[in-house]
Amino acid sequence: MIRSPPRARWGAAAVLALGLGVSLAIAQTAPPASERKSGFAFMSPESQAMQMDDAANPGMLWVAEGETLWTTKVGPDNRSCADCHGDAAVSMKGVAARYPAYFEEEHRPVDLQGRINLCRQARQKTAALPYESRELLALAAFIGKQSRGMPITPATDARLEPFRAQGQALYEQRQGQLNFSCANCHDDNWGRRLGSSVIPQAHPTGYPLYRLEWQDMGSLQRRFRNCMVGVRAEPYPYGAPEYINLELFLMTGAKGMLVETPAVRP
C-alpha cells in the first residue's frame, strides 16, 4: 500500500529516478556479505578523518553530554542510570550492538532509545525523553560508544522473527508518488552517485550519528523519515513500530559489521 504523500520538495530519490534515469524494474538484490560496506567506506578522506578523530568528531559533544546525563539523578527517588548500571564502559559494552531486542513487558521489540525511555519511566519514575531531543540522542550516543569497534550481534530471540519479517517487507515495499522502495536505492544502486554523494548500502552501523547535511546529531528514525519524504511518502511518526521493525531487519543484515557510534556522514 502506498502511503499518502506529504507536501514536500522532491528529494534524493526523485533526482535518482529523473537525473540518472534509473529503471524501477531492476531486481532487488542485497549485496552479498563479501561486498558489504559501511557508509564510512563511501565518504571522502576528510570526512573519514573527522569520524576517526574524537577531537574532531562533532558527535563526541553528544557523547560527553550523555556521560553527564548517565550520572545525573532524576525522579522522585533521585536515581541516575549509574545507580543501577554502574560504570557504562563495563555494563553497556556490547549493548548497542544487539538492539533492537524483544522486551517482554511490551510484547514487541524496542530500539535503544525506547529502552532508555522504558528505564526512565519504570526505574527512575520520570518522564520519557522526546524522540530526537538532545538528551535522548546524547544518552543513546554515550551508550552506543561503549560498543564502538564491536561486531553487530542481532538478537536471535525467536519471538523477533515476525517483526523482522515485517521490517523486510517494509524495506522492499514501494512507497510514495515515486513508487520507490528502500531496496531500489540501497541494494540496486549502491555505489552510484546521486549528485555529489555516493549512495551507500543500508547498514545502520553508526547511529545516532552526526550528519554534515543536518549540522546536527540524528537517529536512524530521522534518516528513515528523510528517505520517506524523499520518495514523497508520508513518514510514520517517531517511535512507530514500523521503524523498529525496519531497524531490526537492517541490523540483521549488518551482522558482524563493526559499531561506529558516533559516526559522521555527509
Catalytic residues: 227
Residue 24 has φ and ψ, to the nearest 5°, of -90, 5
The answer to whether 183 and 193 have CB atoms below 8 angstroms apart is no
The answer to whether 71 and 82 have CB atoms below 8 angstroms apart is yes
Asked if the bond preceding 109 is cis, omega within 30° of 0, the reply is no
Cell of 72: 545525573
* C-beta atoms surrounding 105 within 10 Å: 8
Burial class (CB in 10 A: 0-12, 13-18, 19+), 145: buried
217: β partners: 210
Cα-based distances in Å from 139 to 83, 109, 120, 146:
15, 19, 12, 11
The residues, any chain, with a CB within 8 Å of residue 166's CB and separated by 6 or more, are: 242, 245
Residue with cell string 569497534: 149
Cell of 204: 545502520
Alpha carbons 16 and 43: distance in angstroms, whole number: 19
